Structure 1
Amino acid sequence: MTALAAPDSDAQLVSRAVDDLSRSTRFPVVFGGLETEGSVRVTAIAGARSHAIDDLVVKVGRGLGGAAMIEKRPRLALEYRTARTITHDYDRAILGEGIATLFAVPIVTDGRARGVLYCGSWSQAPVGDLVARPAFRAADAVGAELRIRDEVQRRLVALTPPPEAAAGLSPAAKEDLRESFAELRSIAATVDDAALRQRLAAVEQRLAAVAREGSGGGAETDVQLSPRELDVLACCALGSTNAEIALTLNLKEGTVKSYLQAAMAKLDASTRHAAVARARRLGILP
C-alpha cells in the first residue's frame, strides 16, 4: 500500500482502513482520505498499477466521491467513463489508473461527511450487497474512530481543570472529575492509535494530579496497577457491574473479575468499594 502525506493520526487511520478493505473486497484498487477545508486528499492507496491517483484531491460536490459526500450515501459509476450523473473533474486520475467501475462510500459521523473510501475495478463489475458490504464496514469503522477522537478532543478541552483550580474543588466538582477520569479510561480502551492513547494517558494523569492537589496530596505508595487493572477499577468507581465493565472494555466477564481481584490484592482491599477508596487515597484514582 502507498501511504501519502497527511497528519499522522489521520494518515494512520485511513491507511489501516484502506489496507483492511483491500484484503476483504473484490475490488482490486482501494483508496481514500478525509475531508479538510472542503476537499478530500487521497492519503492511502492499495492495489494501484500506476501513480495516476497519488496526488488526487477531490472537492466536496465534485466527481463521484464528492457527490457521495454531499448526499451522504454511497455512489456507484458502473461505467465510469460514460457516467452522466457525475462531474468528470477527475477523469485524468481515474481513467489514468484504468478504472472502469468506481464505487464511493462516504465516511459519516453524526450526520457529517468526513471523508470517502473508493473501490475501483479495471473492468466493468456489478456491485451487489455482498460486494459492497466490506466497504460499508470499513467506512463505519473509520467513522466510529473519528467519533471517539472527537469526544476525546472535546474532553481534552473541557475536562482538564487548570492547576490553580485544584485547591478550590468542591465535592461535586471532584466527583465530576472522577467520572471524567473513568470515562476517559473507557474511551482509551477502544482506541487503536498509539499517539492518541498517549494523549489520553497524559490527560488522565493530570486529572489524577489535580484531584490529589485538591485533597492535600496522596499518600506515599509503591502499589502499581497494570493498565487493565486500572481500567477495571476506574469503571468500578462509576458503579459499573462486572458485566457492564466487560461490555465497555470488550473483555470477558471472567477476565474482568480476574483483573479486579488482582487490583484488590495489590491494594489490600476485601471489596471493590474498598479498593476504589484506597486507590483514591493513594492518588492512583482521582
Structure 2
Amino acid sequence: MGAPDPEAADDALALHRAVTDLVRRTRFPVAFGGLARDGAIHVTSIVGARTHSLEGLVVQESRGLGGRALVEKRPRLALDYRSSRSITHDYDRAVLGEGIATLFAVPVLVGGRARGVIYCGSWAEAPVGDVVARPAFAVADALSSELRIREEVQRRLALAPKSPEGATIAPAAREELRRTYAELRSIAAVVDDPAVRERLARVEQRLAALSQDGQRPADHVDVRLSPREVDVLSCAALGATNAEIAATLELKEGTVKSYLQSAMSKLDASTRHAAVATARRAGLLP
C-alpha cells in the first residue's frame, strides 16, 4: 500500500468544504460529491444524509444523473428522481435508499475538463429555481478555481529546476515561483468567494516564504501594501507593462498606474524596479 497522496487529500478537503457549503447555501437538506478518477465519480463527501446509502458510491461516466453531468459538462436535474426517464437508474439503491426525491447535479469544470460532480437533493419534490441553482453554480465555480490553482502550482513546481539539498533556490526555480505567485494573485483578484480568497492568500504566503533566501533575513521595512498594490507590483516584477497588468487584473490602465505610484511612494522608490527590489528585500514579494 503506497503512502497517502497529500495533493489528493487536499483536493478531497476542498471538495468537502464545497459540499458543506452547498447545504448551507442552497438550503437543500442533503449534499454529496466526488472527484473523477478512472472514468468515474468517487463520492467521498456526504453532508446531511439520514442513512448510509450513499457511502462508497461510485458513479460511472454517462450513468445516472451525475454520470451524465460529468460527460455532458452541464448541470442535470431530476425533479422526480424515481420516475425520471432521462437517466439510467443504476444507482437507485443509493439515491432512493437515502429517500431523495429531487436531485440536482453540477459538474466541476477545470480547464474544460470535468474534475468531479457535486449534488444537492431534497427528500420531497422541490423546485430548482435561482434560489438553488445560483448558489450551487457559485459553489462549483469556487471549487473549480481552487482545484485549477492547485493544479497550476503543482505543475509549475514540478517544472522548476531543483537545487541540491541545503542549497538556496536556483535562479530559474525562484523565477518560476515568482511567476506562480503573480498568477495566483491575478486569479485571487477575480474570485468572489471570501473563503476561497483567504485560502489562496495562505498559499501565496507559503510560496513567498519558500522563495526567500533562507541565508539572508528580510529587511525590516515598516510598510503595509494594500492587496491591490501587491497584485500590481507582483505583475510588474515579471516585467509586465501597465496595459498588460490592467488586462490580467481586469483593471483600467490608469488604476494600475495609481496603484504602482502608491506602492512606490510607500516603499520610497523612484521606479517600479526599485519598488520591486525593496518589496522583495522586505519579504513583501517573493
Q: Could you state the TM-score of these two structures normalised by the residue count of structure 2?
A: 0.71
- 2:16 is the counterpart of 1:15: yes
Name the larger-Rg structure: 1
Q: Which residue of 2 aligns with 1:139?
A: 140
Instruction: Give unpaired runs (5+ residues) of structure 2.
Output: 1-6
Instruction: Give unpaired runs (5+ residues) of structure 1.
Output: 1-5
Distance 1:283 1:86, change over 3 A: closer
Q: Which residue of 2 aligns with 1:221?
A: 219
User: Aligned-pair distance for 1:65?
Assistant: 0.7
Matches within 5 A, 1:199-210: 201-209=205-213
Contact 2:108 2:115 in 1 (8 A): yes
Provide the aligned length of Structure 1 versus Structure 2: 269
User: Aligned-pair distance for 1:249?
Assistant: 10
Q: What is the CA deviation profile of residues 78-136 of structure 1, one whole-angstrom value per residue up to 9, with x for unaligned ones?
A: 22222233222221111111111212111122221111111212122333455422222
Residue 275 of structure 2 aligns with an amino acid whose one-letter code is: A
Q: Which residue of 1 aligns with 2:154?
A: 153
Contact 2:177 2:211 in 1 (8 A): yes
Output the CA distance in 1 between the equivalents of 2:276 and 2:85. Answer: 64
RMSD: 4.3
Q: Which residue of 1 aligns with 2:182?
A: 182
Residue 233 of structure 2 aligns with an amino acid whose one-letter code is: L
Output the CA distance in 2 between the equivalents of 1:208 and 1:156. Answer: 15
Matches within 5 A, 1:270-281: 270-279=270-279
Contact 2:35 2:42 in 1 (8 A): yes
SS at match of 1:35: strand
Contact 1:225 1:263 in 2 (8 A): no
Contact 1:152 1:200 in 2 (8 A): no
Output the CA distance in 2 between the equivalents of 1:53 and 1:168. Answer: 48
Distance 1:178 1:99, change over 3 A: closer
- 2:196 is the counterpart of 1:192: yes
Contact 1:41 1:58 in 2 (8 A): yes
Output the CA distance in 2 between the equivalents of 1:61 and 1:112. Answer: 15
Distance 1:282 1:92, change over 3 A: closer
User: Aligned-pair distance for 1:166?
Assistant: 8.6
Q: Which residue of 2 aligns with 1:50?
A: 51
User: Aligned-pair distance for 1:180?
Assistant: 4.8
Matches within 5 A, 1:1-286: 7-158=8-159, 160-163=160-163, 179-187=179-187, 192=196, 201-209=205-213, 221-223=219-221, 228=227, 233-237=233-237, 238-239=239-240, 248=249, 261=262, 265=266, 267-279=267-279
SS at match of 1:192: helix
Distance 1:204 1:49, change over 3 A: same
Output the CA distance in 1 between the equivalents of 2:142 and 2:211. Answer: 29
